[in-house]
Structure formats: structure tokens, C-alpha cells
Amino acid sequence: MEVAVEIPKYNLNEEQERKEILRHYRALLRALKTKLKPGDKEMIRTAFEMAVDAHKTMRRKSGEPYILHPLSVAMICVEEIGLGVRSTICALLHDTVEDTDISLADIQREFGGEIAKIVDGLTKISNVLDTNTSQQAENFKKILLTLTDDPRVILIKLADRLHNMRTLDSMKREKQLKISSETVYVYAPLAHRMGLYNIKTEMEDLAMKYMEPDSYKYLAQKLNDTKRERSRYINDFIRPIKEKLEQGGFDFEIYGRPKSIHSIWNKMKKKGVAFEEVYDLFAIRVILNSPPEKEKEDCWKVYSMITDEYTPSPERLRDWLSNPKNNGYEALHTTVMGPQGKWVEVQIRTKRMNDIAEKGLAAHWKYKEGTNDENRFDNWFHQIREVLANQDTNSIDFLQDFKVSFLAEEIYVYTPKGDVKMLPIGASALDFAFAVHTAVGVKCIGAKVNHKLVPIGHKLRSGDQIEIITSAKQKPNSEWLNFVVTTKAKSKIKDSLKEEKRTIAEEGKYILQRKLDGLGAAMSYQNMEELANFYKLASPLDLLYEIAVKKIDLKELKDFTVAGEKLIAPKPPLSPPKGEDKEKMEAKKHLQKDAELIIFGESSDKIMYTLANCCKPIPGDDVFGFITQGEGLKIHRTNCPNATRLLSNYGHRVVKTKWVKNKEISFLTGIKIIGLDDVGVINKITNLISGELKININALTIEAKDGLFEGNIKVYVHDKDELEELVEHVKKLPGIESVDRFDTE
């Protein structure tokens, strides 16, 4: 949902706008044509008219009539997710209860309980990730509760978010960053988990367009420039395979599909290679029209034909036919050596599998009708319900745990009897024990993986067979939290630790009671909170626990005063800073005196700040300000490793930021140079930097090996332009292979 603005005046004349709205509406009806049953058209018409009337005075940030947003969301639901009539009605009405005079009772009266329930779910999460931190994660919990109630809620929410991403241009810069970060952090992984690969990919690409605009433009341009050459290569690659498949009598489609900009960028960063060296810029897809009973057999036959023509890479075979992914994805992937010595990824699947890969959950329902097939989604929802039942989790931890447990790729492991369990990548033997049963988890002392004894923290790999060893004397300790990644294991360990803590804390309660009685103070929650604050503890439970285990002996109680029965803590004396602290304060003052000035918002206020150590921004970088707890304002680059987490989890603490030119201050940054180890090459580089460009070098380290050298040079620059000019000049020197910026320590 986006904030709607009421604008009484129209940009286009009313008649043109009316025609535009009707054009969208008719297109929606055409898309639904095959799904319409008697009476459906009238219901859709009623929902459309209700939405038009409810939103009639509202406009989007772009100035267009607001009703075009619900119409577009409904169209995405139908065309791209494969949902039907009921979901269309819900999509048309998804913002009405939140933003207009229409109530849930009106919707229930007009369309019945099922539709009202979904609209209610959408209303509950419409302001998701839009207020303070704990509220954001609380709202995310709400999404998941409604998801397990009726998964259509989340599918419509994903369509809503996708349309907002497609129309993000008219938003302010800080809003673009915030929405893009949330999308990459939560919504894209959720779309992936629901089996909606195309939507996940588009969300990631659009988010990158706003978060890393330079890299996005560079790659989009590169892909465009190499399009013709790629098409020619794909045609050459496909020709012999096509002939073989035709001779084999297969009914098939075969085509090349470009990889997403985001995945190419990830590959370049992960492997540290240039665009030209990323071999899989595209994938070849073979889609077979096979009857259900022959699907697997046909896919393997096609695999055999392809690998007869081109040599496969053995470690790059992915068999999701025998073991579909948790989100229902089935296919056979292989990477083969194509013409001109290029590796090419080939994906083989049937029409049914392709539907599921593109429409995810909605396609699952379509193919599930009339079969007893146990749905992997149902299994997944059941696991989520189990975790949500435990309401005692800190919301931010919950969001992080959820990403690791439920949105990560999974591995397949086996019980001693051969039953399959699915766990996220990175899961340990202890995670497996809790997946079997909580009672097994809390008593786990070790495991046998493939008949070899391993400790509880042993990381599992796909295909492992695990037998858990338990002991009646075993009980969880806080270290166990470092060994597990699944939310179930974490929450059960925390429950167990809390229970033990409560038992021990009972002893502390008696000790404190006696001390307070002696002072004439009450054993009240307020007094315990006062003491917990004084001892800098998180809660009264922690206070009682620390008293019980003799970490606190309460000797300071003599300094407290008692008013009535209420304890009043003594005020700490004000002491001058110690030597080291004094130095730090002086350094801070000095830094603030010389600080580069930054303009915030529209008011051009000049505010003091510090630069984040994780990404070391310099003037000219695309940055945002972040209000920290205790350290004031910190400036981060938008492509900082922590940016996505900060922007999506703490959006309310983000401040719009831009640089002011100030040539007086220099910033330390670094460049990494790789090139041929030639005589005098170092001399040429230092002459260029210090002599020609007059840039001050702070440190220089060079390592040469096997005819190549790698140099890390720390330099002082005034801004990003100066750094880019330096990089360009160094690149032009003979024998230089690559020059990249790195973040200095």
C-alpha cells in the first residue's frame, strides 16, 4: 500500500481519464475470461464500482487516478500469479478499508465472509514495515499469520508491492531507498519462497535500479550492447539440440532467456570478475509437453540428448525432479560446454513444472485438485504456524530468524529410517534433532552422521543420514544458540533456558525479600525495576537470577533511600573523564570541527555526523544518514553491506542526505590494483598518483607472485570524482589489469 494523496484537480480531462480506467478494467476482464463462471462478472463489476467510488478523489504520487493502482494489482494477480475471480475482487478492494469510508462489514455484506477475511488480512498488513522497528517486525508477523490463514493474502500483497516497485519513480529518493530495501530484504525472498521466480527477479532488479543506480545502468547497457551477439550464439547452440528433439518425436519449446541484472551483479561481486567473464548471462530452457506419468523419463531423455551433443560439467548437475524444492520447483539443470568454449546453463522441465515455476503457489492449487499429493506448501505453512505459536520472541530476532529458517535455500537430509527432512542451508545436527521433536532436541548430546560420530554443532550437507544420540541428563545451555539456525530450535532452546532461569531466580526472590524487609521497602515490581535499572540489567527476572547465582550481593542497598515503601536509587556522582576517555573526547571535538558539511532535507540545516566504518563513504558517494543509539548520526553508502538491513528494519531512523562540496577536507579511501609484475611499474603508479595528480598516499603494500602483482594503496581524496579520475588514470598505465576501490580499515 502506498500513501494516497487527495488532489481535487485533474491533470487530464475527466473524459480521457474515464476511458483510461475503463481500458484497464476491460483488459482485466479479458485476462479472466477463461475463469469466469455465471455471476462472476457481476461481482467483479460491483467490486470495481465500489473501488472507483471509494477512491474517486484520490490520486497517486504520479498524479494519476488512484483506482489505476488496484486495477494494476488485480492484473498482476491474474496474469503473473495465476489467481482467479475471488482474488481479483480482493485486489480491487485491497486499499478501501484502510483509506476510504468503506468498512469491512460493507464488504462482508456485499461479497461474503471469505473475501472479507482476505481484505481484512490485507488491511492489517497494509502499513507493514512503515513505522518504528518493533512495529515493522510485528507487522511482518501479522503477514505470516494471515499467510497461514489464507495464502492469497500474501500473493495479493506481493502483487501490490511489485506494482509499487514498478511505479517508484514518482517517490522521493529516501522513500525509494526504504521501499527498495524492504523489498530485497523481505518481499523478494518471500516471492521466491512462494515459487514466484519472475516476480522475485523483477523485484531484485528494480530494487537495484534505485539502490545501486550506477551499477544497474552499467549492466543494463552492457546487456543491451551484447544482445545481438548473444542471440546469434543462442541460435547456434540450440540448432543441433532442436534437430535431435524433433527426431525423438518430442513436443517442445526451446529458447534462451537472459539472466537478471541483479544475479549477474551478484556473480560479479561474489567471484570478483568483470562482466565479460560472467559465463552464464543467459540460460537455455527446454519445455516439454509430456503426460504426467512420463515427465521424469522424458526430462532425463532430453538431458541425455543434450549431453551427447555438449560435454556437461559433472558438479553442476541439479536434480530437482527427484527432490523438488520446498517451494514446489521441479526441473533438471545442467551446465554444458557450448561452442567457442563457453559454459551454458540448460534448464529442462515440462509444461506443468514451468507453470509451477512461474506461477508458484497458485499453479500448485491448479494441479493439486483431485490428487492426494501432499503439498510442500502445506508442510511449510505448518512449520511457520508452529513458530508463530511461540509469541515470546523479540520481533527483530524473529524477522532475522525467519529469513534464515524459511527463506533460505534448503538441504535434504535423512533419518535412520530413510525419511526425508528439509532444513535450511547451514543447519546443524542440533537443528535436525529439534526438527525430529523438541524432546529429542533438548536431550541431544551428539549425532552420527553417515555412521560417524559428530558433535551437536556439526554442519549438515544435502544427502546426510543422521542418527541423534540423547541422554536423560542433558539440558540446553546458552552456547547452543550459536549452533542452530532454524527458528524452531532457537525458540525451544530459549524457552528451556528461560524456564531454568525462572527456577534459579526463585532462590534470588527469597534473598531480595529478606533484604527489602530489613529496609522497610515493599517487594513490588516497581522496586525490582528500580534495582534492575541501577544494576544495568534488562529485567527484574535477570536481577533475581544474578542475586541467586551470587553475581550481585546487594551491598549498595545501604545507599538507597525509602519513601513510603518505594526504593529510590542514589544519583551517580559526576566524575571528570579519565585519561583515555579525555583523549577520545578531544579527538571527537577535533573531528567535528573539521567535519565535512552535509545538507539534510529541504531546510539546508548543517548537522554534525560521523562516517560509518563499515563502508567508509567519501563525498559524491550515494549516501543516507542513520540515527544510531548513543553515537549520533552516521553516514552510510547506499551499497554498504549493512544498508539493506538498516533501511528495511529501521526506516524511521533514516535521514535524507547529500554532500556539499568542501575541498578543504580529505578522506581516506583505498584502491586495489592488479597487473603484470613489470620493472618500474610501482614507480610509474606512485609518480602518477603523487606527482601528476598531486594526491597524498597514506600507505602502500605490494605483493608479487607468478608474474602478477597486487597492490593496495590508501590515498586521501576530496570526493568521489577525484577518486574516479585517479582510477581512470591508473587503468591507462601499461600492464594494469584492474583497479577497484576498497574500504580502508
pLDDT at 165: 92
The residue-averaged pLDDT of 182-202 equals 82
pLDDT, tens digit, 9 for 90 and up, residues 625-656? 888 776 778 888 888 888 877 877 777 777 77
What CATH number should be reported for the domain holding residue 132?
A: 1.10.3210.10
pLDDT at 574: 45
Is residue 559 a part of any domain in this protein? Answer: no
Q: Is a pLDDT exceeding 60 seen at residue 290?
A: yes
Structure-block grid coordinates of residue 493: 532452546
pLDDT at 75: 93
Same domain? 319 vs 174: no
Pairwise CA distance, residues 93 & 107, whole Å: 9
pLDDT, tens digit, 9 for 90 and up, residues 493-523? 888 888 888 888 888 888 888 878 777 788 8
Is residue 144 a part of any domain in this protein? Answer: yes
Collect all residues with Cβ–Cβ distance below 8 Å to 340 and sequence separation of at least 6: 233
Same domain? 82 vs 186: yes
Give the chain's mean pLDDT: 79
Is residue 460 a part of any domain in this protein? Answer: no
Same domain? 9 vs 73: yes
pLDDT, tens digit, 9 for 90 and up, residues 415-460? 888 777 878 888 999 999 998 888 999 999 889 998 888 888 899 9
Instruction: Name the percent of the chain lying above pLDDT 90.
Output: 13
pLDDT at 736: 86
Q: Is a pLDDT exceeding 60 seen at residue 3?
A: no
pLDDT at 132: 40
Higher pLDDT, 375 or 181: 181
pLDDT at 408: 59
Give the residue among 655, 659, 658 at the shortest CA–CA distance from 633: 655
The residue-averaged pLDDT of 573-577 equals 47
What CATH number should be reported for the domain holding residue 715?
A: 3.30.70.260
Is residue 56 a part of any domain in this protein? Answer: yes
Same domain? 160 vs 112: yes
The residue-averaged pLDDT of 112-132 equals 68
Is residue 160 a part of any domain in this protein? Answer: yes
Same domain? 587 vs 686: no
Chain Cα centroid distance, residue 155: 17
The residue-averaged pLDDT of 19-26 equals 89
Q: Is a pLDDT exceeding 90 seen at residue 74?
A: yes
User: Quick check: is 499 catalytic?
Assistant: no
Is residue 710 a part of any domain in this protein? Answer: yes
Q: Which of the given ranges, 117-131, 267-281, 417-431, 571-585, has the highest pLDDT on average?
A: 417-431
Instruction: Single out the residue in 368, 392, 411 at which a domain terminates.
Output: 368
Instruction: Single out the residue in 211, 234, 258 at which a domain terminates.
Output: 211
Q: Is a pLDDT exceeding 50 seen at residue 5?
A: no
Give the number of domains in the chain.
Answer: 5
Same domain? 12 vs 41: yes
For 434-459, b where at least 16 C-beta lie within 10 A, e where not — what string?
A: bbeebeebbbbebbebeeeebebebb
Collect all residues with Cβ–Cβ distance below 8 Å to 296 and sequence separation of at least 6: 321, 322
The residue-averaged pLDDT of 690-701 equals 85
Instruction: Name the percent of the chain lying above pLDDT 70.
Output: 81
Q: Is the pTM of this model over 0.75?
A: no
Task: Name the least confident of 17-21, 48-52, 482-486, 601-605.
Answer: 601-605
The residue-averaged pLDDT of 347-364 equals 80
pLDDT at 10: 42
Task: Name the least confident of 97-101, 388-392, 432-436, 490-494.
Answer: 388-392
Same domain? 12 vs 148: yes
Pairwise CA distance, residues 739 & 670, whole Å: 10
pLDDT at 347: 93
Same domain? 59 vs 167: yes
- Of the listed 99, 298, 345, 530, which one is catalytic? 99
Same domain? 143 vs 94: yes
Same domain? 651 vs 675: no
Q: Are 38 and 45 in contact (CB under 8 A)?
A: no
Higher pLDDT, 595 or 582: 582
Instruction: Single out the residue in 368, 401, 428 at which a domain terminates.
Output: 368
For cell 548437475, name the residue: 317
Q: Are 433 and 444 in contact (CB under 8 A)?
A: yes
Higher pLDDT, 399 or 614: 614
User: Quick check: is 99 catalytic?
Assistant: yes
Same domain? 152 vs 275: no
List the domain range (segments joined by +) for residue 652.
Answer: 579-659
pLDDT at 142: 56
Give the residue among 175, 262, 181 at the shortest CA–CA distance from 220: 262
Same domain? 267 vs 204: no
- Of the listed 17, 98, 397, 500, which one is catalytic? 98
Is residue 533 a part of any domain in this protein? Answer: yes
Q: Are 674 and 738 in contact (CB under 8 A)?
A: yes
Q: Is a pLDDT exceeding 60 seen at residue 388?
A: no
Is residue 293 a part of any domain in this protein? Answer: yes
Residues facing 700 on adjacent strands: 713
Band the pLDDT of 70: cuts 50, 70, 90: very high
Pairwise CA distance, residues 405 & 409, whole Å: 9
- Region of residue 426 (phi > 0: left; psi between -120 and 50: alpha; otherwise: beta): left
Pairwise CA distance, residues 493 & 479, whole Å: 10
